[in-house]
């Protein structure tokens, strides 16, 4: 196991290095740049001066090496649009994104696994068909459209939930107020993942419920709840855990749209602003952070496989 983890960590570092090279190349070769941010009408000589001051007139390899040597020391540079240290801006927005992603993941996990188990226990019934229809609707619904609809219903018409932001002006440190602001963006962000988790859970449970060892467990007099939770669900978790890993990383990727719709002050909203202003340093830091989340999540999923089923041999022996 230790040798496997060491190989995976080395592989993860290589992946992060390749992602940084690819992202750096793409954002630097994209049209526009910091000179355009000041004013689109700047003369070419002034744009050239700005690029020279920022080191953007150097060869791409020289620019990347300068960024890389600083970033491994924790210096990701300064934002072109605000002048503030990039690491400071990211760490300010990180708690809000982690809170939103955690709430959305919890929503997707509870509702998705619960509805998937309910469908598997009553296949081809009205409940199963209703949950299947809801899952397909969830998969097909664009998050931005659903967010707007929820704002119109619960904020504009019913006036029971706030439409944007993370807290009400004049109210600071209120958990209940934070919960009200969190409900709609977490539901929207988690809905697509909920549908996928539900379908995978249903399929996995249907395959397990037909196995002989469940009939043996029931014949020994085990309670039905114990049979389902200890034997059926645990053996069905391997494909579900894989989907949960993909879901967790996808929540960070889907956060920019949801955070923009609801004005949630997280990294997703910051990423949209960075892309709009071609803020190279900020784009690099956010992309690298999301890549770290993906690599670490995949490693944790592999370890979780062994926890769920000790028979799995990650070393391939």
Query: What's the CATH code of the domain at 225?
Result: 1.10.3720.10
Beta strands (DSSP E) in 39-84 are: none
**pLDDT for residue 35:** 44
The SS3 assignment for 123 reads coil
Considering the domain boundaries, does residue 41 fall inside one? no
Whether residue 79 contacts residue 281, with contact meaning beta carbons closer than 8 Å, is answered with: yes
- In angstroms, the CA 256 to CA 31 distance is 22
More confident call, 289 vs 220: 289
Summarised one tens digit per residue, pLDDT across range 194-219 is 888 888 888 888 888 777 777 777 77
Whether residue 197 contacts residue 118, with contact meaning beta carbons closer than 8 Å, is answered with: no
Considering the domain boundaries, does residue 168 fall inside one? yes
Domain tally for the chain? 1
Considering the domain boundaries, does residue 269 fall inside one? yes
- Residue whose token pair is 């931005």: 144
Considering the domain boundaries, does residue 25 fall inside one? no
Write out the residue range of the structural domain in which residue 262 sits: 93-276
pTM of the model: 0.82
Q: How confident is the model at residue 151 (pLDDT cuts 50, 70, 90)?
A: very high
Over the Cα atoms of the chain, what is R_g? 24
Bridge partners, residue 78, by sequence: 85
Considering the domain boundaries, does residue 22 fall inside one? no
* Whether the predicted pLDDT of 23 surpasses 60: yes
Considering the domain boundaries, does residue 130 fall inside one? yes
Please state whether 83 falls in left (phi above 0), alpha (psi between -120 and 50) or beta.
left
**pLDDT for residue 39:** 56
Considering the domain boundaries, does residue 193 fall inside one? yes
Considering the domain boundaries, does residue 8 fall inside one? no
Lowest mean pLDDT among 35-44, 82-91, 258-267: 35-44
Please state whether 54 falls in left (phi above 0), alpha (psi between -120 and 50) or beta.
alpha
């Amino acid at each position: 196991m230790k040798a496997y983890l060491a190989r995976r960590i080395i592989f993860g570092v290589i992946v992060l290095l390749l992602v940084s090279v690819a992202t750096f190349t793409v954002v630097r070769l994209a049209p526009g740049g910091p000179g355009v941010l000041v004013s689109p009408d700047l003369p070419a000589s002034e744009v050239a001066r700005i690029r020279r001051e920022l080191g953007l007139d150097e060869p791409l390899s020289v620019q990347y090496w300068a960024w890389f040597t600083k970033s491994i020391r924790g210096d990701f540079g300064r934002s072109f649009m605000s002048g503030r240290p990039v690491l400071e801006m990211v760490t300010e927005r990180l708690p809000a994104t982690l809170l939103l992603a955690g709430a959305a993941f919890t929503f997707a996990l509870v509702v998705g696994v619960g509805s998937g188990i309910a469908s598997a226990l009553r296949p081809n019934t009205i409940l199963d068909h209703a949950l299947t229809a809801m899952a397909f609707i969830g998969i097909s619904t664009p998050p931005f459209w659903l967010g707007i609809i929820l704002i119109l219903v619960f904020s504009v018409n019913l006036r029971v939930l706030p439409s944007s932001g993370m807290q009400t002006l004049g109210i600071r440190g209120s958990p209940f107020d934070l919960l009200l602001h969190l409900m709609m963006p977490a539901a929207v962000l988690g809905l697509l993942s909920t549908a996928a988790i539900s379908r995978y859970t249903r399929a996995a449970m249907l395959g397990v419920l037909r196995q002989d060892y469940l009939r043996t467990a029931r014949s020994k007099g085990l309670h039905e709840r114990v049979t389902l939770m200890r034997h059926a669900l645990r053996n069905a978790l391997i494909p579900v855990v894989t989907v949960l890993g993909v879901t967790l990383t996808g929540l960070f990727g889907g956060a920019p749209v949801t955070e923009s719709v609801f004005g949630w002050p997280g990294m997703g909203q910051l990423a949209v602003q960075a892309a709009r202003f071609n803020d190279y340093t900020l784009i690099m830091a956010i992309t690298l952070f999301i890549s770290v989340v993906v690599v670490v999540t995949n490693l944790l999923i592999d370890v979780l496989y062994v926890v769920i089923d000790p028979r799995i041999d990650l070393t391939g022996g």
